[in-house]
Amino acid sequence: MPEFNKLNRTFARRIGKRLSNQNKELLANVLPTYLFSNELVTFKSHQKKYLEIGFGMGEHLFNQIVINPENLYIGVEVYLNGIASFLKLVAKSQNDNFLIWPNDVDMILKDIPNRSLEGVYVLFPDPWHKRRYMKKRLMNKERVEFLKSKLKTGGFIAFASDIEDYFENVKKIFLEDKELIIQNTDFLLPHAGYIITKYHQKSIRENREAQFLQAILARET
């Protein structure tokens, strides 16, 4: 399996706006209860497990945990104000069916047991428009291959982008992969449990159309 180059960061910022005292407090006192560890994932073995990479402000992750309380969601995000924002949403609910990794997904991806996930969500990953930065894009052939190794047979990758060439690129990777079968024919329709995110709202305001892909892993053995 590929080792991802830690210097080739797929994210732009970890701290944007200054952290408010309330956000600092959430990160210091609430986050530790939900911190991802491989042991915890294995311990919660009775639950179906899903991974969301780059959950932003956490709207979609929160919606999934609320509508599917029987499942376990691993949410990964480097942006600290985003993590705090998700913890604020959670504070108003009774849900505890999630674990959070507050850093680069590459630090934990290899620790997630192979063939353990039912699904992976990668929604509106950072576009990295400029040609010289395109290699920073989160979704590429290598990463799709790595994500596949973490999926159970029949598991899915749900991808969304409002950047035409990014979407077409990932669609091509999925189409060329003999083990992935794209499920949706209407790319304007999101997957089950989708809820419009802050980033998606911004793309609507800026007249970019969001497109969605859901691919199922159909390996033979």
Residues that bind ligand SAM (CB under 6 A): 10-11, 53-56, 76-79, 82, 104-106, 123-126, 138, 197-200
Catalytic residue among 106, 126, 162, 186: 126
Nearest residue to 99 via CA among 144, 153, 145, 52: 52
Tokens (6 digits) for 125: 């990953």
Q: Quick check: is 126 catalytic?
A: yes
In this chain, which residue has its C-beta nearest to ligand SAM?
A: 54
- In the complex, the smallest distance separating the C-beta of residue 198 from ligand SAM, rounded to whole angstroms, is 5
- In the complex, the smallest distance separating the C-beta of residue 144 from ligand SAM, rounded to whole angstroms, is 15
Nearest residue to 88 via CA among 169, 133, 22, 14: 22
Alpha carbon 164 to chain centroid, angstroms: 19
Q: State whether residue 202 is helix, strand or coil.
A: helix
Nearer to ligand SAM, 36 or 199 (CB): 199
Contact 84, 109 (CB under 8 A): no
Tokens (6 digits) for 131: 């040609």
Nearer to ligand SAM, 54 or 119 (CB): 54
- In the complex, the smallest distance separating the C-beta of residue 218 from ligand SAM, rounded to whole angstroms, is 26
Nearer to ligand SAM, 11 or 146 (CB): 11
End-to-end CA distance of the chain: 18
- In the complex, the smallest distance separating the C-beta of residue 98 from ligand SAM, rounded to whole angstroms, is 15
Nearer to ligand SAM, 10 or 211 (CB): 10
Alpha carbon 214 to chain centroid, angstroms: 13
Catalytic sites, residue numbers: 126
